[in-house]
Structure 1
């Protein structure tokens, strides 16, 4: 079994301290150095708007300062990553206020892209597109609905709206085959929340479970040569041995763990597998900055993945 050496680990750590923006450095410290979650929360609040949502390039491919559903979900996932669940905290109260407002909420769910994205540097997939939203919004909607179902008062209007939306997108599994880039992961998150008995009368969990497991298996790119360019890797869905998707995909997970160890650049962190494509010439400087922010965030993800499977020689 291949192990990330202590030397490579220290190279990653050094790169993070030299290059990461404050938020990702705080996340690194929390994840690997017993850092404070309060420090992460404090920095994260600088990306929160008065309406409670998040913007300001928190998601590095979209430089829109306005609150968007996806950037707000991005913040929620950071809070989940550090295990912060105090909904009475102002940062969560703002998030709930944003979600309750119904802004950027269509009949099919929360919008993937919003009109004001077009006014700021962004990757092409963040360009506002009404038709693309109908598909690409599935993943965001599933995850936001899961967050609400897990955390909100069951008698609240927001909870009932989220439950209605969750049932709607679960029905989509029976009639639709394209769920966008984020859809399958969104269903994975929702699946984990609705597995309790209280939802059995509302949603066909057994069907959802079987269908999502099949989608996960089929969506993973098993041609490793394509991972350098793109391709869905097992870590998109499986981040620890406890994952419900691990058993059926154990071999390809082990392959990815070896791949990460084999491809770590010397004195650097892993590169990203995308650009801003047609938007890169127009926003060349912004993409260069975005790329560095992403490399830092992905270093935390990949490092955590390796650590969770016992593949780092000397984690903190």
Structure 2
């Protein structure tokens, strides 16, 4: 990877939010700048919408977009500096909006998203909800609000993870975030954190794609999908997959220094998809850059 070229692509093309995120994570910039930019995507009800995640232009608050806001805050270390945002998120989550009481899960997709430009996966289906984003949202409430209801949900989630035979990559990332937040907030009365860490590592091993020829070409999860920094969740035996992913990054960096997305929307919003792709590319490039720096010793090709 040409590291400097990747950094310049991000600086030149990122939205103000992602640029502040980049500055905070890679340059030691102010975390408060991320908080201020993130506020622009928060609704009066406390939840998040408004194309924070570029694949979904629904202005209304949704669980998955609110979870994405938490990801932003965690990854740049700003959870402790976002008091008003945190209070709003907790208020919205406790309101029950977007929560399926029958399944006891926050919905991955909501009906109102169909009324706005979106990718096909944001149209609700009839199946059982996964733990994405429920486990990280429940842990968030355990950390900032407490409440036995959320603790029980977290215990159920990690109990399931310990014996799961199949786990989606985005679902695993929610478990990673959940475990990290419990460690960060010192929440030790819900689950055994050491045991849970091993369950997350095992889940990464289940979810990571072993067909290395698909890395960066198809929508599959190589190691770079999970790790954007040194991590305690790297399972044993994936060294060859890491090397393959690093090689794919070297090969697939584009002439402008950035990386492309590997998915289509499969909905009739061609112009909006093009805009979303432009928004996504700096974020994807940040993910590749973080992985490359962590697992390649920071050396460019």
Alignment of 1:83-122 (within 5 A): 83-86=77-80, 89-107=83-101, 108-122=104-118
Quote the offset at 1:47 in angstroms.
0.4
Q: 1:112 to 1:25 in 2, by over 3 A?
A: same
Q: Which blocks of at least 5 consecutive residues in structure 1 are unaligned? A: none
Q: 1:215 to 1:33 in 2, by over 3 A?
A: closer
Q: Which blocks of at least 5 consecutive residues in structure 2 are unaligned? A: none
Q: Given that residues 55 and 119 in structure 2 are in contact (C-alpha distance below 8 angstroms), is that contact kept between their aligned partners in structure 1?
A: yes
Q: 1:284 to 1:176 in 2, by over 3 A?
A: same
Q: Which residue of 1 aligns with 2:239?
A: 250
Q: 1:181 to 1:113 in 2, by over 3 A?
A: farther
Q: Which residue of 1 aligns with 2:36?
A: 42
Alignment of 1:23-34 (within 5 A): 23-34=17-28
> Does 2:139 align with 1:143?
no
Quote the offset at 1:225 in angstroms.
1.0
Quote the offset at 1:36 in angstroms.
1.9
1-side partners of 2:49 and 2:67: how far apart?
11
Q: 1:210 to 1:29 in 2, by over 3 A?
A: closer
Q: Which moved more, 1:37-46 or 1:58-67?
A: 37-46
Q: Which residue of 2 aligns with 1:263?
A: 252
User: How many residues align structurally?
Assistant: 295
Q: CA RMSD in A?
A: 2.6
- Partner-residue secondary structure (3-state), 1:54: coil
Q: 1:152 aligns with which of 144, 148, 152?
A: 144
Task: Indicate the structure whose relative CO is greater, using CA pairs within 8 Å and at least 6 residues apart.
Answer: 1
Q: 1:181 to 1:57 in 2, by over 3 A?
A: same
Q: Could you give the per-residue CA deviations for residues 40-73 of structure 1, whole angstroms, max 9, x where no partner exists?
A: 1111101000001110000110000000011011
TM-score where L is the length of structure 2: 0.87
